[in-house]
Structure 1
Amino acid sequence: MIKNAHSTRAFVAFLVTWSFVILTVTGIVLYIVPHGRVGNWTFWTLGGLGKDGWADVHILFGAVFIVTGALHLYFNWKPFKKYLAERVRGHLAVKRELVTSLVATLLLTLGALFAVPPVSWLFDLNHWAKSAWSRTPGQEPPYARAEATPLPMLAQRLDFDLDAALGAMREAGIHFEETQAHGQTRMSLESIARANATTPAALFSLIPQSTPARNADQLRGDRARVGADTNPD
């Protein structure tokens, strides 16, 4: 049972600690989350939160950490000032530490800007971790934000039959209402997926894909052959 009176200073200190823990966890998660296009296409989640959810928590507790850190410094200003005074009296040791820490910070910053190993290895690992989510077939969208594109536009862009696509989804038990705007449906894979507790990637796999159009060289060859066959000479 908690019997002692509530201490604002202790509350702030604990809040700083918890904020640091949460920032560490969310930072690790955001380091490995899939690229946005893949996360949106597959409705990626971890622990019940999507990429945006993890980012929101990270931003929130980043702000909390800054505010509570400033309050923690305020409540402990006297001992902190005393510590600084004692360190200044031993300025030679402080000077060495200050210089070496500044040099290390500068080198790390340059390593990040110019992608110099071993700093660049951290970014390479980040890219590998994010890309690992899209190595399974069907996890990569045809283009960024394809799931949010209205179905008529998506069908035109990817060359598939819209009626056949809607029919295939109905046959698979997908339910949707065709809302119309200017004579065309405004539905998207994203809206249908959310209404049916599935993902845009799963819906897209149901769509019968049209046979790829022949390239321009093949078409020109066909026209030449037709011309030759109809030439009276």
Structure 2
Amino acid sequence: MKLRKMTSLTALTSFVFMLVTSIILYIAPQGRVAYWADWRLLGLDKTQWGDIHINMGILFLVSIGLHIYYNWKAILAYLKDKARRLKIWTPEFNVAFGLTAVVLAGTLATVPPFSWPLVFNAHLKDAAAVQYGEPPYGHAELSRLDQFARKTGLSLPEVLVALNDAGIRFDRDQDSLQAIARQNGRSPQAIYHIMQGAQASALPSGMPAEAPPGTGKKTLAELCLAYGLSEADVVRSLQGSGFQVSPELTLKEIGAKNGVSPIDIYDTIRQATATPGVKTP
């Protein structure tokens, strides 16, 4: 068995696996969506695909390192001029280095055509979020059942009744949503849909305590429409709190304009709607 040949073939096969996993992770939903909807491809979830990608990457690096070692003389030959003198900055190396530098700089500057794969990737992630749905808040699947019910404004006793009626097995209300989902062969999202059948003990405004993912991308007008709030009253309330606002701006833009985070804007609206000052239309 020739070690040099085996090293080259290992580098090739691990590269192929890295290529496949890179494509899959490129098109996979964002983590919060994938874990919430229990997204899988070929029976493997996103975490498993990521694990494969990491270990194949390590195998590739080790094998390519050995490949360089076994072919060091050939590589040095690439760096020699016509007089056979070692010269790092050969025309070929200059082109290779320049091409790499251009791709790196273009990616960091997010200019076309280097931004196109990134924009397309963002489009795929957004489309997946629409297709599979987003959790009520980040890493909701890791919350205990009692915590999840409280954060989503659901009555825990009625949630327990709804789950029992649906034949969902769980040991106690302190089990995580993810654990309950796995125990019953369902996604956390499916468990949540069953829970939504329970009578909600919603906040006065109907706004959950935790801002749902993607809230920062919503305009103030869209947020008011989603929760049945009076746009004029919300604007007046925010302005009364010293914020410069406009209904067509997103919460992220409003936050940036006022030097606060989108979550701060969301919380301000939620607190204001808990008082009689902001009414539903």
Which one of 182, 200, 216 corresponds to residue 210 of structure 1? 200
In 2: Cα distance, 1:15 partner to 1:212 partner: 57
What is the correspondence of 1:63-212 to structure 2 with a 5 Å cutoff?
A: 63-85=58-80, 89=84, 95-136=90-131, 139-178=133-172, 185-207=173-195, 208=198, 210=200, 212=202
- Pairwise CA distance, 1:26: 0.7
SS of 2:276's equivalent? helix
User: Structure 1 pair 84/72, CA: closer, same or farther in 2 (3 Å)?
Assistant: same
If the length of structure 1 is used for normalisation, what is the TM-score?
A: 0.79
SS of 1:39's equivalent? helix
Give identity over the alignment, percent.
36
Q: Does 1 or 2 have the higher relative contact order (CA < 8 Å, sep 6+)?
A: 1
Contact in 1 for aligned 2:142/2:178 (Cα 8 Å): yes
How many residue pairs end up in the alignment? 208
Q: Which runs of 5+ in 2 are unaligned?
A: 206-271
If the length of structure 2 is used for normalisation, what is the TM-score?
A: 0.67
User: Structure 1 pair 55/218, CA: closer, same or farther in 2 (3 Å)?
Assistant: closer
After superposition, the CA RMSD in angstroms is 2.5
User: Structure 1 pair 120/79, CA: closer, same or farther in 2 (3 Å)?
Assistant: closer
Contact in 1 for aligned 2:203/2:274 (Cα 8 Å): no
Q: Which runs of 5+ in 1 are unaligned?
A: 1-5, 179-184, 222-233
Which one of 54, 67, 92 corresponds to residue 59 of structure 1? 54
User: Structure 1 pair 209/99, CA: closer, same or farther in 2 (3 Å)?
Assistant: farther
In 2: Cα distance, 1:87 partner to 1:193 partner: 67
User: Structure 1 pair 218/53, CA: closer, same or farther in 2 (3 Å)?
Assistant: closer
In 2: Cα distance, 1:28 partner to 1:217 partner: 45
Which one of 13, 16, 31 corresponds to residue 18 of structure 1? 13
Structure of greater Rg: 1
